Structure 1
Amino acid sequence: MVTFCEGISNFLGSADLSDFTITCGGHKWPVHRLCLSLHSSVLAKACNGDFKARYLEGQQKTYDFSEYPKETVAALVRYLYNFDYEVHGEEHGQRMCFHVALAIMADKVPKAFDDHEEGIFADMRQYDIPGLKTLATEKFQATVDETQHAAELAEVAIVAYGAEAATKDICKAIATQLVKHESSLPGREEGEPIETVLQDYPQLAVEIIKLMRPKVSEYPRPPECVEKIYTCPMGCGAKLKAYIPNNKGDYTCPKCGQDRWGQNWARCVQSS
């Protein structure tokens, strides 16, 4: 298997046996239909001319990715042959967004759009490349821990939550990172960029709340704080389930409204 993969990588950028071309703006990459088809069901259809969209892929033996940045297309082509890609971007936030963009690009095409009608494929930006999506997600998860500034998380959150169905694991990693760095949350020192994002993408707020909510099972009450069933010391017949310390003030019966010291309530505990 390793030898086979190494052999495939030798054909990256090579015109030898090339029978298809990927284009982006003025750039061209000679590729091989077999390689494209093995990775992607969508590109396989493009190679076979199954789409009737504006690209005319099958007849012209070319596929135009001009709606994408050149660096993103170059990373895709490299992955098709090397099962890896080089990260583009000078800033940390740009590199994180690069991983997210590739994960979105490689996501499975929604079933509703999986047909050959003219016009549908023109706006289809997902190419069903499972290996690339997994790799991009893993690279993002390894990179997000290095984030130092809230503005970087805000930038990548906009990209990820803009395509939430394709970036579920990435979105969770972003929310987890925000909880780790509480200064990035709204109302904190660096919280302003994230506050703006939360207004546009409330699902991020939901994820943060879920992560911050303490798990009751992790914080069990000590034995002396277990709730018990009490009857009202005044004889009104009310019963309530609560924890009432013996020596800490008066407690009011919710039925008759009478206050009694904790020790009085303790004498009225029902036997289990």
Structure 2
Amino acid sequence: MANVQQLQETLDAQAPLIDALKNAFHNPKHSDLIIRCADDRWDVHKVIVCAQSPVLAKACEGSFKEAEEGLITLHEEDPSVVEAMLQFIYTLNFDDSCFDIAETSGIVFTVNVHIAADKYDIPTLRKLTVSKFRDQAATGWKTAGFAEAAALVFNAGIAVEESLRERVVSIATKNAKQLLCQDEVGIRFRAVASTTPALAVALWQRKVEGKTEGPVAAKIEDSEGPAYACPSYRCRGILHSIDVDASTTCPRCHGRTLGYYWVKQSV
């Protein structure tokens, strides 16, 4: 009981600081960094933003142009995704309903935020988007947005956590009959599967294994001969033949690395 009371007291003591951080978002007072994306601009605070994103922190250090000008321009991002990322940095959450995502679905938006979290190295945001994706996929598979999200998840390589791919395969396998129907959702999903080899292979493998849950990575013991693991720590791709002097494409994350770096596994 004492531990619970102590925890509550700690949370109560932290509340003013958390509120202060939330109130600092979209407040230019004391800001010392500008982030631009397309026509949007955010006046932010280095001590807050850089503490959660090593990538943004690096841009603000040394002799980089951004450090000298106090301006970071994000050329390749969607402004709504940047807004969600910054909202999370200040509030530890982002509200999907605040964004204009009429042309896509919430589940697609979540995947894009997940990819941005990887790009700017914000692991806590990645963790949140994984949770959001799992919840959204439970009902979102009934929409055309699920197919678009599946394509993003399987084409983004190591920028997406394996658990998202597993969730897509699990949901698609569980609802295969509905996704084979000749309605908009079924037609769209089959079109994506036919043009996304990694997704098609994962679905086929899950069907062969007869499972609806669990990892979709290949099992080492299923094939004869030596096995080599993808050198990316986020991937569990396996190949049974490697040319150490040639560039090798991982069948799982689609990353390309010299065969020399693939790790030989013991069976």
Work out whether the TM-score is over 0.5: yes
1:149 aligns with 2:158: no
Other structure's SS at 1:174 match: helix
For residues 80-119 of structure 1, what are the structure 2 equivalents within 5 Å?
80-87=89-96, 88-90=99-101, 94-107=105-118
Q: CA deviation at 1:205?
A: 2.4
Q: Which has the larger radius of gyration?
A: 1
Deviations 1:45-87 (A, max 9, x none): 0111454xxxx21111011124222211111111110011121
Q: CA deviation at 1:178?
A: 0.7
Cross-structure match for 1:205: 200
Question: 1: distance between equivalents of 2:62 and 2:200?
Answer: 44
Question: 2: distance between equivalents of 1:192 and 1:134?
Answer: 31
Q: Which moved more, 1:24-33 or 1:42-51?
A: 42-51
Note closer, same or farther for the CA distance 1:60–1:90 as it changes in structure 2 (3 Å cut): closer
Deviations 1:21-45 (A, max 9, x none): 1111222111011111110111110
Unaligned runs of 5+ in 1: 108-125, 216-272
Question: 1: distance between equivalents of 2:43 and 2:69?
Answer: 13
Identify the match of residue 210 of structure 2 among 189, 210, 214: 214
Contact residue 137 and residue 169 of structure 1 kept, 8 A: yes
Identify the match of residue 171 of structure 2 among 156, 160, 177: 177
Structure 2: which amino acid aligns with 1:214?
G
Cross-structure match for 1:5: 18
1:24 aligns with 2:37: yes
Cross-structure match for 1:63: 72
Structure 1: which amino acid aligns with 2:131?
E
Identify the match of residue 187 of structure 2 among 192, 201, 225: 192
Identify the match of residue 88 of structure 2 among 79, 82, 105: 79
Note closer, same or farther for the CA distance 1:103–1:21 as it changes in structure 2 (3 Å cut): same
Identify the match of residue 15 of structure 1 among 28, 32, 46: 28
Unaligned runs of 5+ in 2: 1-13, 212-267
Deviations 1:118-141 (A, max 9, x none): xxxxxxxx1101111111111111
Structure 1: which amino acid aligns with 2:177?
S
Question: 2: distance between equivalents of 1:91 and 1:207?
Answer: 30
Note closer, same or farther for the CA distance 1:162–1:214 as it changes in structure 2 (3 Å cut): closer
For residues 245-264 of structure 1, what are the structure 2 equivalents within 5 Å?
none
Question: 2: distance between equivalents of 1:58 and 1:78?
Answer: 22
Q: CA deviation at 1:194?
A: 2.5
Contact residue 110 and residue 132 of structure 2 kept, 8 A: yes
Other structure's SS at 1:58 match: helix
Cross-structure match for 2:127: 134
Question: 2: distance between equivalents of 1:163 and 1:90?
Answer: 20
Question: 2: distance between equivalents of 1:34 and 1:72?
Answer: 21
TM-score normalized by structure 1? 0.64
Cross-structure match for 1:158: 151
- The count of corresponding residues between Structure 1 and Structure 2 is 192
